């Protein structure tokens, strides 16, 4: 079975696209991407509509000739071409490879959108996988990075697919030579000043000499690790949903629930919240360990740990808040997403009203104070916009529709949607902020007593004060 037949079988088995569906192929004019283009064009039953995406990085004099070639090739074969130049004035003095990759993949996203495509094909192969795994081992980092390169992953509104991952560089080059495929060689790939090139030309050949099946073994390990991590993440995701509430660039973790797990599970849950849910980059193992120490330190009920990119982890008694340093505590009246409330801190609505949830009763008698005795399952508290059917909890176990509370307060229709509610993690409304709140004073075992403190009045309430519950 030759490479075209093997390739066709892989495509048929994976169902990455439907016949005739638009698919974008990232082409550099190197042997790998030109062979991929040839293989896709050679599909019989599963051939998609091909769009070539090409970037002239303007980093080498030969790029002009390569650009002219791909333009002529696509025209001669009736293939759609989306091409772009990376302006030289945008080239940074340092980190040129990372910047080029960012520019390239930003362009690929635009091409996918323009051609209504959901699949981007790249020509990564088995040798690329081995090189990547070795580089990750050398650099260190998170275990997930040792999967190397996956055969497919989400990208933009679709996915990136790497259908050549089970083929070696040698097999691809031999196929290209046998089928007279024209390509251009990037001479910089031979420069040993680049780490990947040293691994490619000096390390990998020695490993292949030890075992010619190296590529398949690394691919097998990578697939096993991906499967294990995926299964673990499914279990961890359920744990995350049980202990954490997410808001706009915030997450609030109920520490009492989190403590029911082992240290390993807790670190994994926090890691998923930071890396996967909040997309915080560069979280180190040391930072994860420091967060766990802060959580477990009974002598430090409050504390903070700085994370990357202006993020921080804030411990407030039985809450761990992950938030941005620059996050403004003032509430945007038009914000519909809501946010978690951090204890012992003031928030503003408009210019004349402030509130906060405090863990001890303030001494200032000029403020309105509402006592809230809550089971820990009700924490953390959130501030949200009203939704149809929301009800305010009343003394004695009854309730009143929030819409009726607003009508009774004689609020005009045009400002009712600007009102904010204080709710528990179970979506139970404790207060219509600035309008009405109700004390909850029944005794609760293993609960927590908090105090809603309000001062001033919301200026869009036309002089109405804060109602007592």
Boundary residue ending a domain (212, 238, 261)? 212
Q: Is-contact 91 120, C-beta < 8 A?
A: no
Q: What is the pLDDT of residue 283?
A: 86
- 96: CB partners within 8 A, 6+ apart: 59
User: From CA 321, how far away is CA 250, in angstroms rounded?
Assistant: 7
Residue 303 has a pLDDT of: 86
Residue 313 has pLDDT above 60, yes or no: yes
Query: Is there a single domain that holds both residue 120 and residue 234?
Result: no
Are 101 and 153 contained in the same domain? Answer: yes
308-322, 323-337, 339-353: lowest mean pLDDT where?
Answer: 323-337
Question: Residue 101: what pLDDT?
Answer: 93
pLDDT at 469 over 50: no
Confidence of residue 361 (pLDDT cuts 50, 70, 90): confident
Structure-token match 């990372």, residue found: 98
Residue 185 burial (10 A CB sphere; 0-12, 13-18, 19+): exposed
Q: Cα separation of 131 and 124, whole Å?
A: 11
Which of 152, 177, 212 is where one domain is finished?
A: 212
Q: Tell whether the torsion through CA atoms of 322, 326, 331 and 336 is positive or negative.
A: negative
**Band of residue 408 on the pLDDT scale cut at 50, 70, 90:** confident
Same domain, 190 and 117: yes
pLDDT for 214: 95
Out of 129-138, 339-348, 407-416, least confident range: 407-416
Domain contains 389? yes
Confidence of residue 351 (pLDDT cuts 50, 70, 90): low
Number of domains in the chain: 3
**Least confident window among 8-22, 266-280, 367-381, 451-465:** 451-465
First vs last C-alpha separation in the chain: 79
Would residue 103 count as lying in a domain? yes
Residue 387's pLDDT is 86
Looking at residue 268, what is its pLDDT? 93
Q: Which of these three, 177, 212, 247, is where a domain ends?
A: 212
Q: Are residues 59 and 172 in the same domain?
A: yes
Eight-class DSSP state of 248: T
Q: Is residue 392 part of a domain?
A: yes
Which among 112-116, 331-335, 425-429 has the top mean pLDDT? 112-116
Residues forming beta bridges with residue 313, ordered by sequence position: 305, 322
pLDDT for 66 equals: 96
117 burial type by CB count under 10 A (0-12 exposed, 13-18 middle, 19+ buried): buried
Average pLDDT over residues 68-81: 97
As to burial, measured by CB atoms within 10 angstroms (0-12 exposed, 13-18 middle, 19+ buried), residue 401 is: middle
Per-residue pLDDT for 384 more than 50? yes
As a whole number, mean pLDDT of residues 208-215 equals 95
3-state SS assignment for residue 82: strand
Q: Specify whether the CB–CB gap between 372 and 451 falls below 8 A.
A: yes
Looking at residue 330, its pLDDT comes to 46
Q: Look at residue 150 and tell me whether its pLDDT is greater than 70.
A: yes
Residue 398 has pLDDT above 90, yes or no: no
Predicted confidence at residue 448, as pLDDT, reads 84
Q: Check residue 423 and give its pLDDT.
A: 92
Strand partners, 50: 23
pLDDT of residue 415: 67
Three-state DSSP state, 183: coil
Predicted pLDDT of residue 274: 93
Alpha helices (H) along 118-213: 126-139, 169-178, 195-198, 204-210
189 and 99 together in one domain: yes
Whether the pLDDT of residue 99 is over 80: the answer is yes
Residue 93 pLDDT > 60, yes or no? yes
CATH code: domain of residue 250: 3.30.465.60
pLDDT at position 462: 42
Domain with 53, as residue range(s), is 3-212
pLDDT at 219 over 90: yes
Q: Do 316 and 394 share a domain, yes or no?
A: no
Range scoring the smallest mean pLDDT among 7-16, 214-223, 241-250, 274-283:
241-250
pLDDT tens digits, 102-128: 999 999 999 999 999 999 999 999 999
Taking only the tens place, the pLDDT of each residue in 229-244 is 999 999 999 999 889 8
Percent of the chain whose pLDDT exceeds 70: 92
Is residue 25 situated within a structural domain? Answer: yes
192 lies in the same domain as 250:
no
Residue 412 — very low, low, confident or very high, per pLDDT cuts 50/70/90?
Answer: low
Q: pLDDT averaged over the chain?
A: 88
pLDDT digits (tens, 9 = 90+) for 30-50: 999 999 999 999 999 999 999
Examine the domain organization and report whether 169 and 297 are in the same domain: no
Cα dihedral 388, 242, 332, 369, rounded to 10, equals 90
User: Are 130 and 34 members of one domain?
Assistant: yes
Q: Is the pLDDT of residue 324 over 60?
A: yes
- Per-residue pLDDT for 169 more than 60? yes
Whether residue 467 has pLDDT greater than 50: no
On whether both 352 and 306 belong to a single domain, the answer is no
**328 or 269, which is more confident:** 269
* pLDDT of the residue at 206: 96
Q: Tell me whether residue 333 is in a domain.
A: no
Same domain, 188 and 156: yes
CATH of the domain at 89: 3.40.50.620
Residue 276 to residue 357: CA distance in whole angstroms: 29
Q: Considering only residues 240 and 418, tell me which one the structure prediction assigns the higher pLDDT.
A: 240
Q: Do residues 108 and 169 both lie within one domain?
A: yes
Alpha-carbon distance of 420 to 337, in angstroms, equals 11
The model's confidence at residue 301, banded by pLDDT at 50, 70 and 90, is confident
State mean pLDDT over 55-65. Answer: 93
388, 392, 403, 422 from 398: Cα distances, Å: 18, 9, 16, 17
């Amino acid at each position: 079975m030759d490479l075209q037949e093997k390739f066709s079988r892989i495509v048929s088995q994976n169902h990455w696209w439907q016949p005739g569906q638009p698919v974008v192929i990232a082409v550099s004019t190197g042997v790998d991407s030109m062979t991929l283009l040839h293989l896709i064009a050679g599909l019989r039953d599963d051939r998609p509509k091909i769009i070539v995406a090409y970037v002239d990085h303007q980093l080498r004099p030969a790029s002009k000739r390569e650009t002219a070639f791909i333009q002529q090739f696509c025209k001669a074969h009736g293939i759609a071409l989306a091409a772009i130049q990376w302006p030289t004035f945008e080239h940074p003095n340092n980190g040129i490879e990372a910047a080029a990759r960012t520019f390239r993949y930003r362009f690929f996203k635009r091409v996918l959108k323009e051609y209504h495509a959901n699949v981007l094909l790249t020509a990564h192969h088995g040798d690329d996988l081995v090189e990547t795994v070795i580089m990750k081992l050398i650099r260190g980092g998170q275990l997930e990075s040792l999967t190397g390169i996956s055969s497919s992953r989400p990208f933009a509104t679709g996915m990136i697919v790497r259908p050549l991952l089970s083929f070696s560089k040698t097999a691809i080059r031999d196929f290209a030579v046998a089928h007279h495929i024209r390509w251009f060689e990037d001479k910089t790939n031979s420069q040993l000043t680049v780490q990947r090139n040293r691994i490619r030309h000096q390390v990998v050949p020695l490993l292949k000499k030890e075992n010619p099946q190296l590529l398949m073994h690394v691919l097998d390990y990578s697939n096993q690790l991906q499967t294990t991590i995926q299964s673990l993440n499914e279990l961890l995701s359920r744990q995350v949903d049980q202990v954490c509430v997410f808001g706009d660039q915030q997450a609030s973790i109920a520490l009492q629930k989190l403590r029911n797990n082992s240290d390993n599970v807790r670190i994994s849950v926090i890691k998923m919240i930071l890396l996967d849910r909040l997309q915080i980059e560069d979280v180190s193992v040391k930072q994860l360990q420091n967060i766990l120490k802060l959580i477990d330190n009974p002598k430090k009920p409050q504390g903070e740990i700085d994370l990357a990119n202006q993020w921080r982890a804030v411990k407030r008694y039985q809450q761990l808040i992950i938030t941005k340093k620059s996050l403004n505590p003032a509430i945007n009246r038009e914000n519909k997403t809501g946010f978690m409330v951090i204890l012992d801190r003031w928030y503003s609505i408009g210019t004349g009203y402030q509130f906060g949830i405090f863990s001890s009763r303030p001494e200032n008698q000029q403020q309105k104070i509402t006592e809230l005795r809550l089971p820990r399952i009700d924490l953390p508290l959130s501030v949200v916009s009203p939704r149809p059917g929301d009800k305010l909890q009343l003394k004695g176990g009854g309730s009143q529709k929030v819409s009726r509370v607003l009508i009774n307060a004689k609020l005009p229709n045009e400002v009712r949607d600007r009102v904010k509610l204080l709710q528990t993690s179970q979506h139970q409304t404790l207060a219509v902020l600035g309008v009405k709140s109700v004390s909850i004073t029944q005794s609760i075992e293993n609960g927590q007593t908090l105090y809603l403190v309000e001062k001033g009045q919301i200026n869009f309430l036309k002089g109405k004060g804060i109602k007592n519950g």
